[in-house]
Chain A
Amino acid sequence: MYLPCPVVQNIKVSCTSWKCALEDVAWIISAPAYHLILEGILILWIIRLLFSKTYKLQERSDLTVKEKEELIEEWQPEPLVPPVSGDHPALNYNVVSGPPSHNIVVNGKKCVNFASFNFLGLLDDPRVKAAALVSLRKYGVGTCGPRGFYGTFDVHLDLEDRLAKFMQTEEAIIYSYGFATIASAIPAYSKRGDIVFVDRAACFAIQKGLQASRSDIQLFKHNDMADLERLLKEQEIEDQKNPRKARVTRRFIVVEGLYMNTGTICPLPELVKLKYKYKARIFLEESLSFGVLGEHGRGVTEHFGISIDDIDLISANMENSLASIGGFCCGRSFVIDHQRLSGQGYCFSASLPPLLAAAAIEALNIMEENPGIFSVLREKCKRIHKALQGISGLKVVGESFSPAFHLQLQESTGSREDDVKLLQEIVNHCMDRSIALTQARYLEKEEKCLPPPSIRVVVTVEQTDEELERAARTIKEVAQAVLL
């Protein structure tokens, strides 16, 4: 719509002469009021248009209180836990009545135990029990505190001392739970940004320790030193690119002595070579090999004749050979002492009940007094290992001197569930024929590299030759009946 615009006229006129301008002013004054108001509004409109944004931003999407309430009302969480079907293979545990020693009563059936890690038969040793009893009469059961706050007993110091001496290291530190030992030790040293090279077959405790450390994890193929070296080399090249970062990046190799999941031994001499070549520290988990391998039961280092000083940290639990509870780490004071403030499972947990520490000390006494026990164990391992060869459908996995090894299906049925069922059937039949066995249990979704299903056979010094033969025969017959 056209509106007469006297202002524009003004400018034109004012160019001509002063006089005209004055006339114009007079004209403005004489203009009707409505006109001036209109002009004023128009000018303001133009200014507004000039300064305002050309388009409007979207309205901010703040939710109203009511909308929020609706959202809260609508939200339905998942159940806390998914339902577990009644026939889940892991739901109904075997019930052991009485002590879980050599002769064991499982689900009411008397069996010979081929499942507990009681390698040296110290679980029901009268000397161990007597020592524990003396301790119980002196200290009671619990410690009622962590090590820092009046939870350190003289027995703990004794046990640490004895373990250090036994392993011929400077210092040892005990934990009140086997699982927590390596799982606390790894994150005490390896932090975010550090690199850990770890064997694919490493046990669950190591996996949890690595996860807690939040370090960079490099998996190498099980016992494959070429693969490890490849990773170390790659890292070396990486380090050369960024030497500043490399100077503060710690490197660790984490391996097990005897692998829980495979029953195989780690090639320690090669590992030590790689350690010095690539300057990576070795952490060794010896839960299965401590009190088993070597002339005096000191584990893989003794087995290979390697100086224990070449290993930065050795960890083991006291729940297998020593038949007590808890775990320990040993090595040089420079390394071990750090855990006394940084090992979470050490600092923040109640200490080991003194009677369990006393039992472990007595078990160490027996091991020291009686070094022949280890070769007896090895003989028995070899015997059953040999006897179990050549079962159609089952293969033996693990070293011939390992007291815990696996029986896996030669050919999988294609589904893990069916494999597990098949193996369970073998286990059940053996149990009926008074040989107590168990499948190796895993959390299938949690394991980094899930091992194939297997029956784990455990050899102890208490098993007589006759029992070993009978066990091998039974397994053979049952496997034949089930698998063929």
Chain B
Amino acid sequence: MRPGPGGCCYRRPVRANGCVANGEVRNGYVRSTAAAAAAAAAAAGQVHHVTQNGGLYKKPFNEAFEETPMLVAVLTYVGYGVLTLFGYLRDFLRHWRIEKCHHATERKEQQDFVSLYQDFENFYTRNLYMRIRDNWNRPICSVPGARVDIMERQSHDYNWSFKYTGNIIKGVINMGSYNYLGFARNTGSCQEAAAKVLEEYGVGVCSTRQEIGNLDKHEELEKLVASFLGVEAAMAYGMGFATNSMNIPALVGKGCLILSDELNHASLVLGARLSGATIRIFKHNNMQSLEKLLKDAIVYGQPRTRRPWKKILILVEGIYSMEGSIVRLPEVIALKKKYKAYLYLDEAHSIGALGPTGRGVVDYFGLDPEDVDVMMGTFTKSFGASGGYIGGKKELIDYLRTHSHSAVYATSLSPPVVEQIVTSMKCIMGQDGTTLGKECIQQLAENTRYFRRRLKEMGFIIYGNEDSPVVPLMLYMPAKIGAFGREMLKRNIGVVVVGFPATPIIESRARFCLSAAHTKEILDTALKEIDEVGDLLQLKYSRHRLVPLLDRPFDETTYEETED
């Protein structure tokens, strides 16, 4: 079972489709050694698949989702069980006014209206989220760069309300912002340019693109985006979320089929729903699942009427922001071509952050942007601005210019924000005459590999692709979500922790976002503290001991050896 070139690098345990987390892990099941036999039985087919598609990849594609240890899974469920029981108990006490109620209540005049919220809807918020609410929405008061200043806040009523102490926690290492290339800055050429435009244009536009809000700046930006992406044309929008939710309905409608990855972002899901097309979900990054859906869709047509589908649109993301996985784009493109489907690629996290020239996931795999029908991305992350774009063939963009909901009804991008995008993009492209952009891209790639490797060596379970700057560290237990976030802040490191509903119920995690602005010292400090907190909270769940070979060139001796 030797994996083909560029395929799966794990020997054991064999996971479907090259170590990608598939349904069996996702829904909380744990595969122990007993299941290994079954996995081995399936191995022949899997490896065959990998060798088949191995040719599509130009470099190794290492993606790992270590399974949840059985004991941890059981304890996690127990944890939620205890929390739920206590939740009911306290709701009971609140109901009988034994415990003081902190939350806002309905107006007296409207007590007899139908309740605005379903009770269960808020059970989770009230009894689970509220306990650890201090880990989110931490207000900052500086540039979201490598280090941030966080406003200290206190709660005297168990997180129901916060008071600002007026103190500022200075120089917190920022592992949470999506500042991949380090363009979140308040000095430098981008800011100078933005300031100049701000003084000339002001901040608002007060109109839509189709009416009288189409500025010369917007046209300039769109030309630049098109040349950056290597596509015929592009269009820019004021909000990344809305780029998805307001443009997908323009592309597909009734009688069309959307095939969507199960972990797609809420904006893609909303856009798909608003479009009125039929939506089918395939397993995360699982090409067999996608192929089966494609095949069935074409063979059996629409349900009931049996008419053939008008068109099929595949929705995938470049980097999945909660998993840290990279889409298997070469395979998706091969499938899309084989089955004549269209491909919508959301590069919110990957644009700028992946690929030798920062052109995103297409660049990373060395593919042709022509093969992706709709290239979508945001300016929020790598470019340190806000908004989103869509790039593609001229016909597509012409159609969107006339039919996009954003173009007709939403205010266009703010001019200084446009300028920030233009200057940062030119910097990445090297058009500013410096090599700064290129250095940032390299720095990010180095940081990513280094940080991921060190965390794995420490024995944490880290999800995702080795080249993905989004690094999820598994916490599993609900109590550890809060503990990890707080302990890290105590040590002057700001991290993002996420639990249900952003992740499956047992797979709570911390997420680090690497940045080119992180220096080696910053990363080493962060790693040292994570190591300490990991020991303190017993987070080093990994049972796969890792031979640290990731930095060596790929050959058949560089499998990651795993020992159970």
Contacts and interface: CB of A to CB of B under 8 A. Distances in A.
B98 interface: no
Given A141-B385, A177-B238, A118 B138 contact: no
Interface string A307-346: 0010000000101101111000000111101101100110
Contacts of B176: 145, 149-150
Interface residues of B, number: 121
Interface in A116-130: 116-118, 122-125, 128-129
A82 B239 contact: no
Contacts of B384: 140-142, 144
B215 interface: yes
B84 interface: no
A352 B395 CA distance: 32
A75 interface: yes
A150 B496 contact: yes
Contacts of B259: none
A442 B104 contact: no
Which one of A83, A91, A144 has the greatest number of beta carbons of chain B within 10 Å?
A: A144
Interface in B107-140: 107, 109-110, 112-118, 125, 129, 136-140
A152 interface: yes
A129 B202 contact: yes
B402 A143 contact: no
B411 A325 contact: yes
Interface stretch (A37-45, A205-213, A293-301, A367-375): A205-213
A248 B118 CA distance: 8
B241 A348 contact: yes
Interface stretch (A16-24, A96-104, A384-392): A96-104
Interface stretch (A131-139, A224-232, A416-424): A131-139
A480 B389 CA distance: 42
A261 B285 CA distance: 44
Interface in B151-209: 151, 174, 176-179, 183-186, 190-191, 194-195, 198-209
B240 interface: yes
A378 interface: no
Contact of B142 (A122, A139, A246): A139
A117 B208 CA distance: 10
B42 to A, nearest CB: 21
B212 A94 contact: yes
Given A95-B214, A132-B198, A78 B380 contact: no
A345 B242 contact: yes
Contact of B409 (A79, A140, A205): A205
A75 B310 CA distance: 10
B208 A177 contact: no
A157 interface: yes
B174 A150 contact: yes
A112 interface: no
Interface residues of A, number: 121
Nearest to A439: B211
A319 B381 contact: no
Nearest to B215: A96
Given A129-B202, A141-B420, A338-B117, A116 B184 contact: no
Contacts, number: 364
B398 A84 contact: yes
B212 A106 contact: yes
A319 B405 contact: no
Interface in A414-446: 436, 438-443, 446
Nearest to A76: B340
Nearest to B406: A179
Contact of B241 (A178, A180, A335): A180
A176 interface: yes
23 contacts: A72-B299, A83-B399, A90-B210, A95-B216, A115-B211, A136-B198, A137-B195, A140-B143, A148-B136, A150-B144, A150-B177, A154-B139, A176-B386, A177-B238, A179-B406, A189-B116, A204-B408, A317-B411, A334-B116, A347-B266, A348-B266, A352-B386, A356-B414
Given A84-B398, A212-B273, 10 more contacts: A68-B299, A80-B373, A129-B199, A138-B143, A140-B144, A148-B137, A150-B174, A323-B202, A325-B238, A353-B417
Q: Which 8 A-B residue pairings sit nearest by Cβ, starting from the closest?
A: A177-B239, A81-B399, A334-B104, A349-B241, A350-B380, A116-B206, A93-B214, A323-B204
Interface of A: 63, 68, 71-72, 75-84, 88, 90-91, 93-101, 104, 106, 113, 115-118, 122-125, 128-129, 132-133, 136-145, 147-154, 156-157, 170, 176-180, 189, 191, 203-205, 208, 211-212, 246-251, 276, 279-281, 309, 317, 319-320, 322-325, 332-335, 337-338, 340-341, 344-345, 347-350, 352-353, 355-356, 359, 436, 438-443, 446, 456
Interface of B: 103-107, 109-110, 112-118, 125, 129, 136-145, 148, 151, 174, 176-179, 183-186, 190-191, 194-195, 198-216, 219, 238-242, 246, 249, 251, 265-267, 270, 273-274, 295, 298-299, 308-313, 338-342, 373-374, 378-381, 383-386, 395-396, 398-403, 405-411, 414-417, 420, 494, 496
